[in-house]
Structure 1
């Protein structure tokens, strides 16, 4: 029996590989799965193809607002989708959600749109980005008000915002718990009580993720006599408007502000060597994967209460939240953990239990596949 065709459209290869590949692979039992995205590295292309997915590369800038570039991207996506003739589309991140929404309405194809977080569009005070966000919402609304559409939100705040703004109807908006993690890879490991306390920051290296604030908070705690180190690992994203350059990160390492670990594939090991994991973001997040991974490994979390962060960090249960951009609040949140091993241990156990209850790969994948069946039925 010939399988239905499912097409994922995502902004960039590394993001799809990190956050969506497991879910795409799980759909192979029921679908011929295609993925349309922009390419940055052949290793991601090989990983996706070797997983059994059919790969289509396009030109798509995540941060550009050039009308000419956007028309080119839109046409490329339309052309590939028209050629594939899919039964179902799944768009991921804001631009694909807009473009694929319009294409799916024109071609009358059912669509699942995933909103992992509205990013700087939801937090920027720049008038240009506010106007841009308003235009995007109007374009999303063109598709969301028609049949054969489902919007998945990692952040309840994002869901409420778009429903309250009448961009998406509540009956077509569903709250989901992030990407999920492999609990057999991110296993629970008791924290070490010897040596300096280690704060791990592992994320895409954007300035709105809070690294500068974290350095200042660390320095405040050093002045109070704590022995601690700030270890930083992650993906350089110099194409982003707020991305750190390689030179900037290396300079922070040379000055001793951070221990620069580079881009790493052994994240479970880095988490298990740390005392806590911090992501003091001022950015409109979904549910950050690194925080789910940290909780799964039994590490306390320090983050802000923005977006989906508060769904994986329950204040005074498995971590502490701080006010965005507030250095003293951040330092206090960290100090509560590093000053008391019993608190750190308790937070770690509760974090693991939270992941087992809400954030396992199996539960997220099962839920995702059920969305597909319901939309096609």
Structure 2
């Protein structure tokens, strides 16, 4: 059996968005996963993966820590002797890719979003692009999740082979089409880590205004809350403006009651899984005009697009949505479902990886 090594920075993303690929790989390969041990690691092991517990400081910029990670990756590759390495997210892409290159092992990288380090110009951007240049140069294929990321990075650095895939795709069985709610209260969902760059301030501004003008609305917030917003969420919940539900392992029960998902992010997304899952469930979406979000929305067909960091524009689009009749809202949800069926089925991503790996084995 061939050996496949997967490097990632956490078990949650790997299990939730790559499970179907792993299920396919373990059928005919010995699959190892290198990442920090977490709550979903037992599920990865249950799928058939062999775990290599690998600590990673996901957002740290300490050169010594990153050097140790590179050395650790080299050691892991030396011990396992994989036939191919798959990497996800920035540090595994950079240091896992570099370790693979130095070890002479074929590797496939996935750009799950460029991140603020690359999006914001400055010294950190230059350093990150330099590391990408030396780590991705010999990659057998670099998968991009949106066209803008692909065009930006391929203009900055030389990448021999690259391919555009529809993000992580969405499991259309797991996120099945739900009945559209028929009640007097209109429910909106915010599903994300509660942080500034995800647009939480714009969402809360809109919730306060809309709730005051349209009492028959409810604004829900789902996700891990950063300390900076905890007091504000509690205060607004006590005032009856929002309902904060914290981190949820399964958001489908909230999609059942929801009429629309609002995702006002301006974080450098690869392709928004929140929007893919919402659209797959038959829910209209309101999101920002940026890569990783706009690809999922056809304006006025399955949702609305708003300007970044613009609470006023978000409020206007929510009001436009509220003025729509029930049948129109329902049709928007159905249009979103059809769009993800056509363009974002996770099987498209699985097939892209499997076919690329098969081609590698033939060489």
Does TM, normalized by the shorter one, top 0.5? yes
Instruction: Assess, with a 3 A threshold, how the Cα gap between structure 1 residues 122 and 256 changes in structure 2: closer, same or farther.
Output: farther
Using the alignment, how far apart are the partners of 1:50 and 1:225 within structure 2?
48
Q: How far 1:14 sits from its partner (Å)?
A: 1.8
Using the alignment, how far apart are the partners of 2:31 and 2:206 within structure 1?
46
- Report if the CA contact (8 A) 2:141-2:162 is conserved: yes
Identify the residue that residue 83 of structure 1 maps to in structure 2.
Answer: 79
- Report if the CA contact (8 A) 1:213-1:280 is conserved: yes
- Report if the CA contact (8 A) 1:104-1:111 is conserved: yes
Identify the residue that residue 131 of structure 1 maps to in structure 2.
Answer: 123
Identify the residue that residue 117 of structure 1 maps to in structure 2.
Answer: 113
Identify the residue that residue 251 of structure 2 maps to in structure 1.
Answer: 267
Instruction: Assess, with a 3 A threshold, how the Cα gap between structure 1 residues 301 and 87 changes in structure 2: closer, same or farther.
Output: same
2:8 counterpart SS class: strand
- Report if the CA contact (8 A) 2:307-2:314 is conserved: yes
- Report if the CA contact (8 A) 1:283-1:306 is conserved: no
1:62-117 CA distance string (max 9 Å, x none): 11101122122222222112111101011100111111121111111111100111
Identify the residue that residue 141 of structure 1 maps to in structure 2.
Answer: 133
Residue 351 (1) aligns with residue 351 (2): no
Q: How far 1:367 sits from its partner (Å)?
A: 2.1
1:154-199 CA distance string (max 9 Å, x none): 121110100121x143x51211112222222212123223132111
- Report if the CA contact (8 A) 1:272-1:299 is conserved: no
Q: How far 1:133 sits from its partner (Å)?
A: 2.2
Residue 164 (1) aligns with residue 155 (2): yes
Identify the residue that residue 18 of structure 2 maps to in structure 1.
Answer: 20
Identify the residue that residue 327 of structure 2 maps to in structure 1.
Answer: 342
1:288-339 CA distance string (max 9 Å, x none): 1111111111100111121211111222221111111011111122222222
- Report if the CA contact (8 A) 2:211-2:241 is conserved: no
Instruction: Assess, with a 3 A threshold, how the Cα gap between structure 1 residues 142 and 122 changes in structure 2: closer, same or farther.
Output: closer
Any residues of structure 2 matched to 1:216-365 within 5 Å, and which?
216-225=205-214, 227-236=216-225, 249-340=233-324, 341-365=326-350
Residue among 165, 170, 184 paired with 1:176? 165
Identify the residue that residue 9 of structure 1 maps to in structure 2.
Answer: 7
Residue among 191, 197, 201 paired with 1:212? 201
Using the alignment, how far apart are the partners of 2:236 and 2:304 within structure 1?
26
Q: How far 1:143 sits from its partner (Å)?
A: 3.7
- Report if the CA contact (8 A) 1:5-1:33 is conserved: yes
TM-score (norm 2): 0.93
Using the alignment, how far apart are the partners of 2:204 and 2:272 within structure 1?
20
- Report if the CA contact (8 A) 1:14-1:44 is conserved: yes
Using the alignment, how far apart are the partners of 2:242 and 2:15 within structure 1?
27
TM-score (norm 1): 0.90
- Report if the CA contact (8 A) 2:77-2:100 is conserved: no
Identify the residue that residue 47 of structure 1 maps to in structure 2.
Answer: 43
| 5+ residue gaps, structure 2 | none
- Report if the CA contact (8 A) 1:185-1:268 is conserved: no
Identify the residue that residue 366 of structure 1 maps to in structure 2.
Answer: 351
Instruction: Assess, with a 3 A threshold, how the Cα gap between structure 1 residues 234 and 54 changes in structure 2: closer, same or farther.
Output: same
Q: How far 1:256 sits from its partner (Å)?
A: 3.4
Aligned Cα root-mean-square deviation (Å): 1.9
Using the alignment, how far apart are the partners of 1:154 and 1:244 within structure 2?
30
